Amino acid sequence: MKDILNNIQKYCNEIKVKDNFITIKPRDIKSLSIHLFRDLDCDLASVVCLKEENDFVIKYLYSYNKKDIFFIVEQKVNNSFKSLSKEIPALNWFEREIYDMFGVEPIGHLDLRPLYIFPENYPKDFHPLVDSSLKSDKSYGEYEYKDIKAEGVYQVLVGPIHAGIIEPGHFRFSMAGEPILQLEIRHFWKHRGIEKLCENKSIDDVLNISQKISGDNALSFALSFAQTVEKICDIEISEFAKYSRMIAGELERISCLLVDIGGVFQDIAYSLGAQHMSALKEDIMRLIKKLSGNRFFKNFIVIGGVSKDITPFYKETLKVLNDVEERVKLFDNLMENSASILERFETTGEIEKDIAKDLSCVGFCASASGRFNDFRKIHPYLLYKNVDFDSIILQSGDVYARTKVKISHIFNSISIIKSSFKHISSMKEKEKVVSFSIKDGEAFGYSESSRGNIITFVKIKDAKVVRFKPRDPSFMNWQAIQFAVVGRTVDVIGDFPLVNKSLNLSYAGNDL
């Protein structure tokens, strides 16, 4: 820690250290940011803007992956600030989001097309996190796409409405014959105004909303929010509750990853593998309902602990997990020995390590592209430091690598659940919830979902949430898909469904 503080001192006016968070008021924000992102190899974890009287405060959160350290870089701005997206490409969407929501302009940004505030639907001066009242219902134009215009190049448009029962997203391919020259995505069709909705709500109300942001990660969002509130209010939950939360989080991870693996099998017409993954996922969801009363673990996380004692289902859980482990190993082996599966998976949808770095990709997307990004290991929360598991890192960044990382995560989750159950089954005191009082304050918190880390910022005043900013892992990974189809091996348009499914990103979580 001392060496790191000494190295950044020259960039800073003020440094505060609390736990594993280093808060910095910079002298030179550009030089400091480049030092953190490039020299220390930090990942950009989140960016939050807050309205404070006549000014705005922007907080940049960086994750230092070599040690359990976060950097919070704060700058106070008025109506504009200097864009850093050229130096740190991961800031692209964050800066555009701030412009949309607050009207604070990132000067020098190369692409200030709106993310959320569609020109087809809203007036130009509408910034809902400053003033949500519409002074006019007049739209101001149309969204401008960046099509490649050249002889023999044509566009293929997919979405936002799709043939399958999935959420809306627009994918715009520029093609020359079969190869994809460019993919441009446009999302945020499903924007529900989550941040605005949560302003001045009670803690319990926001907890309830948080688990509805992205349905399949209901528990992970609730956990991230709960841990942030507990940090602000100095709430230390029991060991029983910590292990119970770990078991729940890992069961949610297994459920989601089984769907992912089944999806890529289905997209290459390997129906046998897809159906087995679907059946296993159903077994896990039925188990989750027995443990929590809900197939998605909704209402299992409460501030101060958990709502249920899951120990009566120890033996049944082990039986289900042993079956999952055996059958996933079987299909992992079948995949490794099938030339037709490997031919479709290998070199398809490659995300290079440099791209994963520049965009601060998270979860299995980062791990498959040579970037270590598992917060259970890097920034261990709950009692993850007490359980032994390996987070594998692969280099090829293709569909194959992402699938292998997911399979390894399933095996890790099974191991973590078994270890955690052993701990809580032998406990004499099974304290589900501790008493607490709500305090004013603000903090960042996090959890590691099946897709990657979820970052939550919460500010509490007078027992109400005055600012809630969740960051879904898909917000970090969606931009990478545009590079995945034009990687080292150029993909054809028929590869796109497989590439898309291998990333399995959330529209709702991304769109908020």
pLDDT one-digit tens code per residue, 27-77? 999 999 999 999 999 999 999 999 998 899 999 999 999 999 999 999 999
Of 32, 51, 78, the residue that ends a domain is: 78
Are 254 and 170 contained in the same domain? no
pLDDT one-digit tens code per residue, 280-289? 999 999 999 9
pLDDT at 323: 98
pLDDT at 203 over 90: yes
Of 62, 78, 94, the residue that ends a domain is: 78
| CA 455/CA 204 separation, integer angstroms | 19
Question: Is the torsion defined by CA of 360, 345, 167, 126 positive or negative?
Answer: positive
Are 178 and 249 contained in the same domain? no
pLDDT one-digit tens code per residue, 220-235? 999 999 999 999 999 9
Residue 282 lies in a domain: yes
pLDDT at 162: 87
pLDDT at 269 over 90: yes
Chain CA centroid to CA 94, Å: 14
Least confident of 3-17, 104-118, 199-213, 356-370: 3-17
Are 198 and 168 contained in the same domain? no
Domain that residue 237 falls in:
194-511
| 451: CATH | 1.10.645.10
Residues 396-425, mean pLDDT to the nearest whole number: 97
Q: Which residues, other chains included, contact 96 with Cβ-Cβ below 8 Å and sequence gap of 6+?
A: 106, 109, 111, 112, 113, 114, 115
pLDDT at 7 over 90: no
Are 41 and 158 contained in the same domain? no
pLDDT band, very low/low/confident/very high, at 182 (cuts 50, 70, 90): very high
Residue 122 lies in a domain: no
Are 446 and 468 contained in the same domain? yes
Residue 227 lies in a domain: yes
User: What total of structural domains would you count in the chain?
Assistant: 3
Residue 315 lies in a domain: yes
Residues 374-387, mean pLDDT to the nearest whole number: 97
Are 162 and 59 contained in the same domain? no
pLDDT band, very low/low/confident/very high, at 490 (cuts 50, 70, 90): confident
pLDDT at 421 over 80: yes
User: What percentage of residues in the chain have a pLDDT greater than 70?
Assistant: 100
Are 306 and 422 contained in the same domain? yes
Residue 131 lies in a domain: no
User: Residue 149 carries which side chain, given as an amino acid letter?
Assistant: K
53 DSSP 8-state letter: T
Are 246 and 385 contained in the same domain? yes
Are 355 and 480 contained in the same domain? yes
Task: Give the E-state strand segments of 293-393 in sequence order.
Answer: 301-302, 305-306
pLDDT band, very low/low/confident/very high, at 196 (cuts 50, 70, 90): very high
Are 169 and 212 contained in the same domain? no
Of 135, 168, 186, the residue that ends a domain is: 186
Residue 64 lies in a domain: yes
Least confident of 101-115, 453-467, 475-489: 475-489
What does DSSP say about strands 21-26 and 69-77: parallel, antiparallel, or unpaired? parallel
Are 164 and 224 contained in the same domain? no
pLDDT at 374 over 90: yes
Residue 95 lies in a domain: no
pLDDT at 4: 86
Residue 11 lies in a domain: yes
Q: Is the pTM of this model over 0.75?
A: yes
Are 216 and 353 contained in the same domain? yes
